[in-house]
């Protein structure tokens, strides 16, 4: 009886350890794809850790980057048309010549970021944190009615 109990306990321990590893691998496949190819149109990157990633010229059209960590990422020339960046962290990100048309930028943290020559036509920009950001030739502003 003891041997059966120990065998069952060992089997359950092995299974419980294997489950999180497979879930983790599934969640990181789109991240690996993005980092290796810079193409991830329509990918689900919800909550992805892309801190400091070099995403120059990346195709992220219609990608779901909700709550993603893009702190210090280089998004120069990236296409994020229609992307969902709700609650994403872009602190200290380099956003130059980036296409953000029709993107959801609600609650995005762009503090201390550099936004140069980026397109934001049709983007939803509610509650954006631009504290300390350097914004040039990009249609984002702070303030209300004139």
**How many domains is the chain built from?**
1
Angle at 27 between CA 24 and CA 30, to 5 degrees: 140
Asked if residue 65 lies in contact with residue 85, where contact means CB atoms within 8 angstroms, the answer is yes
Q: Which pTM was predicted?
A: 0.78
Q: Rounded CA gap, 79 and 56, in Å?
A: 9
> Mind listing the pLDDT tens digit for each residue in 46-76?
999 999 999 999 999 999 999 999 999 999 9
What are 135's strand-pairing partners?
A: 115
Q: How many helices (H) and strands (E) in the chain?
A: 1, 3
CATH number at residue 70: 2.160.20
Q: Is residue 58 within 8 Å of 38, Cβ to Cβ?
A: yes
Provide the residue range defining the domain that includes 80.
Answer: 1-146
The string of pLDDT tens digits covering residues 2-29 is 555 444 444 444 333 433 332 233 348 9
């Amino acid at each position: 009886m003891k041997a059966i109990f120990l065998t069952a306990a060992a089997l359950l321990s092995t299974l419980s350890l294997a489950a999180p590893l497979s879930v983790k691998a599934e969640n990181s496949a789109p991240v690996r794809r993005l980092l290796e190819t810079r193409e991830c149109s329509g990918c689900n990157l919800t909550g992805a850790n892309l801190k400091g990633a070099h995403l120059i010229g990346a195709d992220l059209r219609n990608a779901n980057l909700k709550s993603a960590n893009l702190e210090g990422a280089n998004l120069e020339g990236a296409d994020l048309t229609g992307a969902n960046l709700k609650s994403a962290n872009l602190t200290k990100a380099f956003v130059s010549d980036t296409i953000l048309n029709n993107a959801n930028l609600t609650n995005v943290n762009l503090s201390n970021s550099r936004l140069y020559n980026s397109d934001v036509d049709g983007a939803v920009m509610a509650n954006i944190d631009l504290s300390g950001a350097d914004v040039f030739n990009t249609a984002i502003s702070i303030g209300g009615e004139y």
